[in-house]
């Protein structure tokens, strides 16, 4: 099930907007494609991220994959639990598996992202 309250990037990241803050994670589709996640290189607090650029890296038993930031801004919080237990992303990608919270530089960037139904169609098209 793809949550309706999130926005989605074509690189399979999601964002939950709350005021000027954006919580970022990877989608269920992404974690499923990666397989068992064994490590995540979290961004640093106070670092800047740019929309459409790598903000983190995830290693799984299958591959190493870039996490692409859906919005630009400054990292204000990271999910430290993932350092010890990166498999949380596999277990709960839309909840406890969040990666970082960003203070958005430009809230309108979120307008360019897909809603749940568009993302669902995108994943179906991509898998053909």
| Rg, C-alpha atoms of the chain | 13
**Is 0.85 surpassed by the pTM of this model?**
yes
Can you tell me the distance from the alpha carbon of 8 to that of 24, in angstroms, rounded to the nearest whole number? 10
Which numeric CATH code is attached to 7-126?
2.40.50.100
Domain extent listing, the chain: 7-126
Query: 3-state SS string over the chain?
Result: CCCCCCEECCCCEEEEEECCEEEEEECHHHHHHHCCEEEEECCCCCCEECCCCEEEEEEECCCEEEEECCCCEEEEEECCHHHHCCCHHHHCCCCCCCCEEEEECCHHHHHHCECHHHHHHHHHHHCC
The answer to whether 45 and 77 have CB atoms below 8 angstroms apart is yes
Q: What is the pLDDT of residue 32?
A: 96
Residue-level pLDDT at 128: 84
pLDDT of residue 4: 96
Structure confidence at residue 5 (pLDDT): 97
What pLDDT sits at residue 98?
Answer: 98
Predicted local distance difference test score (pLDDT) of residue 1: 82
Low-confidence ranges of the chain (pLDDT < 70): none
């Amino acid at each position: 099930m793809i949550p309706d309250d999130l926005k989605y990037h074509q690189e399979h990241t999601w964002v939950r907007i709350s005021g000027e803050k954006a919580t970022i994670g990877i989608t269920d589709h992404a974690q499923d494609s990666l397989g068992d996640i064994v490590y995540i290189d979290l961004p640093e607090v106070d670092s800047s991220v740019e929309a459409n650029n790598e903000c983190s890296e995830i290693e799984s038993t299958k591959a190493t994959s870039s996490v692409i930031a859906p919005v630009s801004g400054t990292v204000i919080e990271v999910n430290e639990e993932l350092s010890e237990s990166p498999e949380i992303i596999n277990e709960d990608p839309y909840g406890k598996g969040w990666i970082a919270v960003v203070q958005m530089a430009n809230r309108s960037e979120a307008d360019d992202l897909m809603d749940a139904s568009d993302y669902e169609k995108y994943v179906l098209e991509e898998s053909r």
